[in-house]
Structure 1
């Protein structure tokens, strides 16, 4: 079970984005896992126009789960949290052709951040921000290298968080269970991180410090939802991560990364009468109050 799931903030476009991604990633075994809707009662004033509409669409791409959150237009994803898509010749047929097909779909209405071509680290690589603001790094990988999953979320430390990738990796691997550091490559001139990967709760993530100044940093546009067992673990992670508390189990850590720390049975709890209104009144989630 995937215990840390990226949530993508959609500006009223969660259904449209779902259909787009299911079509774009069809060659990589994409499917809809679950759809949830907003309740018709207990909504705050700014949410009432969403009553009965889609709240979230959870999709799977090659076994990797993403959640598309239907919300307002005040926030949009940016490249600070992006996604590697690894096309490994040892793991799939026609990897280059599949990469090219996905590139064509994601660039349609999107914005190319790095042109598709040959680089020192890959014979075929490109970075694109799609029409919904979500950024993808498509890479033809070395079949003789270390095996990695199809999709890996990457945190790019830039703006106010510039130069803090190594510090963040140390914090995260110290906080989460089943954690370890994999590869670490640094810039020779300033000791910042060119690339690193690491595991949290057994799942792979990557991190880097931006090589050039950026005018953006981490926002709620892409958050990381952590599903845990029991109030004690909720409280422990909250105490370790929550530099800035937000509603509904959301918080920001010291680097500005947004997390949602939720009980693994949240879906079951949300079936209780008045549960949505109770959730909206919480910052740290207290299970016994549902």
Structure 2
């Protein structure tokens, strides 16, 4: 049982966003859609919340109106196995109005920030060789989408 669920506030795109996100990752699905009743604040019958799972992790999306928007202060990090996975997720998440940002970060079309991170980057910067980690970090700082080969080249010195 997952005790803590990430709760995402959307203006009015909760169901659309949940459908998009669940299309990106295996073991993902929409599990429940709740609708506003007569007492609102949304229009009766409109989507209030959408519960969904991404790669088995639970999330809830709320249609809460325009009072709040996402910031980069919170992001969803996706650990990727290889460059192909990085490239595919990057392309899908930046499509249709998404925005690239430095160091493997991006905002999707709904304004939610993501970090598309190859596992090798995490391993290289956390390794015991601080000089190698610093070279890898310096290479990563020059990137938007993370490219694995330049990281490996930097690691090699």
TM-score, structure 2 normalization = 0.81
Q: Do the aligned residues in 2 keep the contact of 1:166 with 1:192 (CA within 8 Å)?
A: no
Aligned equivalents of 1:278, 1:153: Cα separation in 2:
32
Aligned equivalents of 2:99, 2:44: Cα separation in 1:
30
Q: Do the aligned residues in 2 keep the contact of 1:163 with 1:192 (CA within 8 Å)?
A: no
Give ranges in structure 1 of 5+ residues lacking alignment.
1-147
Which residue does 1:209 correspond to in 2? 63
Does 2:12 correspond to 1:156?
A: no
Cα displacement (A) at 1:194? 1.8
Q: Secondary structure at the match of 2:75?
A: strand
TM-score, structure 1 normalization = 0.45
User: Which structure has the highest strand share of the two?
Assistant: 1
Which residue does 1:260 correspond to in 2? 115
Q: How many residues are aligned here? A: 137
Q: Do the aligned residues in 2 keep the contact of 1:165 with 1:192 (CA within 8 Å)?
A: no
Which residue does 2:71 correspond to in 1? 219
Q: Secondary structure at the match of 1:166?
A: helix
Give ranges in structure 2 of 5+ residues lacking alignment.
38-42, 152-157
> Superposition RMSD on alpha carbons, in Å?
1.6
Cα displacement (A) at 1:267? 2.3
Task: List structure 1 runs of 4+ shifted beyond 6 angstroms.
Answer: none
Which residue does 1:171 correspond to in 2? 20
Measured against aligned partners, the alpha-carbon deviations of 1:170-219 in whole angstroms (never above 9, x if no partner) come to 10011112111111101243544322211111111111111x551x3011
Aligned equivalents of 1:172, 1:150: Cα separation in 2:
21
Distance 1:275 1:213, change over 3 A: closer
